Amino acid sequence: MKITLLVTAFNSLTQVAYSYFKEKKYNIDVVFAINEKQMIDEVFAFSPDFILCPFLKKFVPKEIYENIDTYIVHPGVLGDRGAYAIDNAIRLDKKEWGVTILKANGMFDSGDVVITCNFRMRSAYKSSIYRNEVITTFYSMLDDFLKNRQSKKFILQPDLPMHQTLSQKERAIDWQKDTTQEILKKIYMSDSYPGVKDEILGVECYLYGAWREEKLRGEPKEILAKRDGAVCLGTVDGAIWITHLKEPNRFKLPATYVLKERLQGVKEQRLPLIFDKSYKTFYEISCDIREEVAYLYFNFHNGAFSSDKCMKLKYAFEYIKEQVKIVVLMGGEDFFSNGIHLNILEDSKKNGEDGWSNINAMNDLVKSILFADEVITVASLSKNAGAGGVFLALACDYVVACNEVVLNPHYKTLGLSGSEYHSYLLPKRTGKQMAEKILEECLPMNASQAREIGLVDKLFMLEGYEQSLKNFCLDLLFDEDAYEDFIWKKGDYLQENKMMIEGCRKKEIEIMYPEFWEKESVFHTLRYEFVYKICPQATPKRLKGVECA
């Protein structure tokens, strides 16, 4: 079967569809919706059996949907129509929301419905709902979508008016009236796009990443404290942390990077390295210890690891491993890890120096985990991972994953050769030939595909994932002799191969040096296009006509 994915961008939802169809051995072609003629030419050149649009902001040209069955993925319940669907669900306090796949026609989200499925809403920001509930629901629908499409088992989309298109007027915060909960809701429904427009200390900006603060108090909009890049502001009934800001025509950065010297005199309100979650506040690193197993969480925004985040996580890991027999790297709420922090590097006036610092800090973190010979380490990939974040996981003794996770174990799309000991870790699991193929093709893979080639050791279903992970860890502890034998062999292997392993890092860094430091490095251009979300002028060649024999 030949399938075209017609999309605005190759986002997380698109990658779920792509890897699903690839696993089914279908021929897949991706078409970026750049302009009408280009869409028509690319679609008809491939001549697919049908078209799926997981993430599309443009209208499908009439010439396409009248000749080829075309289906739209809408992040809303049956009858919902229009943009900003999840925004409205949060604004209206919907307890249940959903995903609907419908046939494209001449009207916005009005075609016959192929399949729809609902999920329970939780209190979270929009992009988190999208990356979790929307994606997992969409993934669960794909088998039945194919069956319903084949049998033409469609239902009519209810003839309801389009929901409200929300402007900044509806999103705006009234700091003198809005409660903490109302402010949370406004930021939640606007994150990650378009953000809530405001002015902080004289800086016009958009607000992102809101956390309730339980202890600090002050006047509405008064800056009370700062922590790990975030700022705390007073509200009429409490306080709230804002982690990120974006100035107009710029890109998202930690709040302190935007406000800079304006924060002079504002106290750094620190937490312990590993927060015990004893009250509501903004934190990034936490740990649960149960039955000699430490579950270490690191909830870094968008999975981006700046130099300081790498160092803090390294210190947290080294501290916690002294107390247990197994350390499980859990990742964050939306991502496991996506490697180095590109936005901070783009903002830096010393791109080369800060990039070099970031990749070496990431390497030091990976080294700490890789050479931890006194404990068993487990990477829990319940969320997506990309670039250096995948190799952070591979540094562990075992890698387990949720079956719906998508991995991107490559660097070249950003003009980097990569480090994080990947030249040791990847071929060790997949073999040299497969490792080279993965790095060269730069394509996403789901957890099942990763399991087939040896990147993942165990797959667990989303339902019951935490219990499956716990049972897996307890099994490693069950036979004490087997545990001690594993630790003994691990220590011997690392001691015997330390020079070889460190040699891999040394060669990686030598190759990367000019990528960071030379002004003409393509990394600087590709990083700029990534953080500013520059629309591509053509569909990437690596996504064209992928045949899965």
Q: What is the pLDDT of residues 15-48, one digit of tens each?
A: 999 999 999 999 999 999 999 999 999 999 999 9
The pLDDT assigned to 547 comes to: 62
Encode 225-252 in three state secondary structure: EEECCEEEEEECCEEEEEEEEECCCCCC
Whole-model pTM over 0.75 = yes
Whether the pLDDT of residue 507 is over 90: the answer is yes
Integer-rounded Cα radius of gyration of the chain: 24
Interval 423-444 mean pLDDT: 98
Give the pLDDT confidence of 308-357 residue by residue, as tens digits.
999 999 999 999 999 999 999 999 999 999 999 999 999 999 999 999 99
Whether the CB-CB separation of 111 and 137 falls below 8 Å is answered with no
Whether the CB-CB separation of 106 and 67 falls below 8 Å is answered with no
Give the pLDDT confidence of 196-244 residue by residue, as tens digits.
999 999 999 999 999 999 999 999 999 999 999 999 999 999 999 999 9
Take residue 475 and report the two structure tokens written for it: 């099994």
Question: For 2-164+538-543, CATH number?
Answer: 3.40.50.170
The CATH fold assigned to 285-464+473-517 is 2-enoyl-CoA Hydratase; Chain A, domain 1 (3.90.226)
In this prediction, what percent of the chain has a pLDDT beyond 70?
99
Residue at 442: amino acid letter: C
Taking residue 140's Cβ as centre, other Cβ atoms within 10 Å add up to: 14
Give the residue carrying structure tokens 């796009």.
193
Question: For 168-263, CATH number?
Answer: 3.10.25.10
Binned at pLDDT 50, 70 and 90, residue 165 comes out as: confident
CA–CA distance, 295 with 244 (Å, rounded to integer): 27
Q: Give the long-range contacts of residues 479-482, CB within 8 A, separation 24 or more.
A: none
The pLDDT assigned to 37 comes to: 97
Q: Give the long-range contacts of residues 486-493, CB within 8 A, separation 24 or more.
A: 486/376, 486/397, 487/373, 487/374, 487/375, 487/376, 490/373, 490/376, 490/397, 491/373, 491/374
Interval 147-152 mean pLDDT: 95
Give the pLDDT confidence of 117-137 residue by residue, as tens digits.
999 999 999 999 999 999 999
Take residue 489 and report the two structure tokens written for it: 């062999």
Q: At what angle do helices 351-370 and 480-517 cross, to 10 degrees?
A: 170
Domain limits of the chain? 2-164+538-543, 168-263, 285-464+473-517
CA–CA distance, 329 with 109 (Å, rounded to integer): 41
